[in-house]
Structure 1
Amino acid sequence: MKTHKITQAPVPMRSVGPINICGPVLQEKLSVPLATYETPLWHSVGRGARVSCLTEGIKTTVVDERMTRSILLEAADAPAAVAALHSLVTRLDDMNQVVAQSSRFARLIDMHSQIVANLMYLRLEFTTGDASGHNMVTNAADKLIPWILTEYPQLTYCSISGNYCSDKKATAVNGILGRGKYVISEITISRELCERRLKTTPEKVVDLNIKKNLIGTMIAGGLRSANAHYANMLLAFYLATGQDAANIIEGSQGVVHAEVREGDLYFSCTLPNLIVGSVGNGKGLGFVEENLSALGCKESREPGENARRLAAICAATVLCGELSLLAAQTNPGELMEAHLKLER
């Protein structure tokens, strides 16, 4: 069998910022590495970063965190599946004893379920320390399945993943329940600063957010999503920090909200599916380790704190790019003019 040599696929990378970040997780000004072929993104995020430094900062709040794996089990009929489920939901402590055998950091915190005919879909939800947790939760689920089948012989195995997780797919369940870190970033920008640095007004940004992000996404059939380009910032941040880049699929689900408050602009980005980790697969590359260290996400802290810090930085970065693009699109021709100038 032929083995293929592992080579590198270089992607242009540049540090952008500093971004002024405040909130419960961190209060710092720091530059953020972004790896992308869409080089105007650096300038767009950079404009948002400069604005943040002229305000009190971007407040970032980690609302919740959980990584999911949905297992699929089968019974002879619906009553048998329901009976097993009613018992299982009362045995979280027993299940966590099994989970503890798979990892020092994984902990089962909740379950959600769907019964379809004779099929039982169990959405197992774990905390995973500083890892994003894909492999950790799959390993935990792999250990749980034999225990469940022993305790409930009316059930049989169907799949380690039943798509109710949902991994790397845009689904309503992720937007509702969250997958990864649920993070909100917020900023308040004075009218004068909007006009001077963003070349727009608070009213124009609010109006465009309603008509483009909310109504436009709705008529397009968007799923739990109302934003302009979360995926751009997420991909660049994920590649620079060694994340599983395919997770931008669920990560790009999220809502932009904007208001005029006493003449100023309140602008926020909600990201319920931000999947990042500071340890684990993909983190061993030299440039990734350097980037994570520069972001202060390789420090000796309590388990989970480095990953929460990384998520907060990522959410602030998303806000910078989202704000800049929406501001640009309030002005005819500005977006294309910038791309022509920077790419050609």
Structure 2
Amino acid sequence: MLLSKLPLGAAALRVAQRRGAAALCSGALSDAAVLDKLASGQMAFHKLEAELGDPVRAMRLRREHLASTFGAGAHADAIRALPSDALDAAGFYGQVDGACCENVIGYVPLPVGTIGPYKIDGKAVYVPMATTEGALVASTHRGARAISASGGATTELLADGMTRAPALAMPSLKAAAELKRWLEDPASLDELNLAFKATSRFGRLLAVKVGIAGKYAHVRFKCFTGDAMGMNMVSKGVNKVVESILEKYPGTQLLGLSGNMCTDKKPSAINWIDGRGKSVAAEAILPASVVASVLKTTPAAVARLSVHKNLIGSALAGSIGGQNAHASNILTAIYLAAGQDPAQNVESSTCLTLCEEVPAATPGGESSLYVSCMMPSIEVGTVGGGTALAAQAACLGIMGVKGAGETPGANSQQLAKIVCASVMAGELSLLAALSVNHLVSAHMALGRRDRK
């Protein structure tokens, strides 16, 4: 059928015509020839659909190019394991049963894109993102490209501890205060750990903080959970500790294993200040020449906007942990791809983004842009929950963090670092676009295809 006969809107018709013309030019190329052009940089990775005029072929060749980039090994196997054409229904629903969902009636497909290669702590990483928001992957990839061209992102793990905070009713205020003093005494930690560690091979109690409201005590336990995100592990361990408390303090009642001082899936100052899960920071320094060539702006413009948007605007809004441009966007897309709990984006995406112009080190030299993100509550795991599903496990494999690490906690900590560095890339790209008013044009080009 001729393109002009297709029931398309004007914008979609133009896209189809361009792709049709591209197909006439590129359709004669064999798969091997396309892969050679990708490897040599003669064909743009993100323009395969337009170049080939065939989105299915573009997807398959992009996968093969990524797999060949990794060579033989687990990363290449993970690329090929990510479902693309057909669902293994028996395998998928078998993995879901008893672990991930109840009353199952089907599944919702989400497209998965990648950013990278992104240089994080000296290593090239590809990061899968599952989203239906046009321009998000492209924008984050742009930020990652700019950072990588400037030497890469540096990350640091600042803390690691999942929390659970049961609510207890004590006989009196005096008893509640006595409980607080005992639980917060460092000398009590070993005794509490005897009960906690009886429920887990990897979990251990790290710290205890008690909030008092009259005779009621809310006890916030912070625990190490290895490579698991750890809510179930911590709940079991804390439940055992509470049993020992009830024995030690007769008349105490457990009102609920979670009393909201944890705090899970709700914004809170305690997570912002004390952290929950992994607390991670990332930074990068970009020369003005890279900012201009890749991000189409200047260090001064990005830094100025960051102050007024991320700091002043968020202060006027009374935001808790919202001192950022759109951290939740990137984090949630990675969570969906990697089998994390997407509802935990509420506290996990709290982020402080800073940008500042660094003056030239020598007369006549160029200035630089310093960018950093601090995320105190990234709640991730590489074992348990949705990480066991084939597609999500493949995405973890692409990042090199599938399953348990040789050192307990190493894989989940690395995943948190990747999340923070990726958020920084997305933050940088959006701030750059806003600083020169490119946001609308980018979304119109990448996220508003006419389907009439």
TM over 0.5: yes
1:337 is matched by which residue type in structure 2?
S
Correspondence for 1:8 among 98, 107, 127: 107
User: Do the aligned partners of 1:81 and 1:155 also contact (CA within 8 Å) in 2?
Assistant: no
For residues 400 and 288 of structure 2, what CA distance do their matches in structure 1 show?
33
Q: What is the CA distance between 1:331 and its match in structure 2?
A: 1.2
Structure of greater Rg: 2
Residue aligned with 1:279, SS:
coil
Q: What is the CA distance between 1:6 and its match in structure 2?
A: 4.3
Correspondence for 1:116 among 213, 220, 237: 213
- List runs of 5+ in structure 2 lacking aligned partners: 1-101, 360-366
Confirm or deny that 1:273 pairs with 2:377: yes
Greater CA deviation, 33-42 or 253-262? 253-262
Residues 237-283 of structure 1: CA deviation (Å, up to 9, x unaligned): 00110000111100121101112112210000110011111101111
Aligned to 1:93: 190
For residues 405 and 431 of structure 2, what CA distance do their matches in structure 1 show?
38
Alignment of 1:137-286 (within 5 A): 137-262=234-359, 263-286=367-390
1:37 is matched by which residue type in structure 2?
T
Asked which structure has the greater RCO (Cα within 8 Å, sep 6+), the reply is 1
Alignment of 1:7-156 (within 5 A): 7-22=106-121, 27-90=122-185, 91-156=188-253
Residue aligned with 1:170, SS:
coil
Root mean square deviation, CA, Å: 1.2
Aligned length in residues:
337
For residues 159 and 426 of structure 2, what CA distance do their matches in structure 1 show?
23
Correspondence for 1:319 among 421, 424, 428: 424
Q: What is the CA distance between 1:89 and its match in structure 2?
A: 2.6
Q: What is the CA distance between 1:5 and its match in structure 2?
A: 3.0
Q: What is the CA distance between 1:323 and its match in structure 2?
A: 0.3
For residues 6 and 111 of structure 1, what CA distance do their matches in structure 2 show?
42
Residue aligned with 1:187, SS:
strand
Structure showing the higher helix proportion among its residues:
2
Residue aligned with 2:412, SS:
helix
User: Do the aligned partners of 1:188 and 1:264 also contact (CA within 8 Å) in 2?
Assistant: yes
Residue aligned with 2:383, SS:
coil
The TM-score, its normalising length taken from structure 2, stands at 0.73
For residues 151 and 78 of structure 1, what CA distance do their matches in structure 2 show?
17
- List runs of 5+ in structure 1 lacking aligned partners: none
Correspondence for 1:309 among 395, 414, 417: 414
Aligned to 2:78: none
Aligned to 2:49: none
Residue aligned with 2:157, SS:
strand
For residues 171 and 330 of structure 1, what CA distance do their matches in structure 2 show?
30
Q: What is the CA distance between 1:53 and its match in structure 2?
A: 2.1
Residue aligned with 1:153, SS:
coil
For residues 206 and 103 of structure 2, what CA distance do their matches in structure 1 show?
41
Aligned to 2:401: 297
User: Do the aligned partners of 2:184 and 2:210 also contact (CA within 8 Å) in 1?
Assistant: no
The TM-score, its normalising length taken from structure 1, stands at 0.95
Residue aligned with 1:87, SS:
helix
2:147 is matched by which residue type in structure 1?
S
For residues 282 and 154 of structure 2, what CA distance do their matches in structure 1 show?
5
Residue aligned with 1:53, SS:
helix
Q: What is the CA distance between 1:300 and its match in structure 2?
A: 4.4
Moved over 4 A (4+): none
1:278 is matched by which residue type in structure 2?
T
Residues 37-67 of structure 1: CA deviation (Å, up to 9, x unaligned): 1121011011011112211110011111110
Residue aligned with 2:312, SS:
helix
Greater CA deviation, 295-304 or 224-233? 295-304
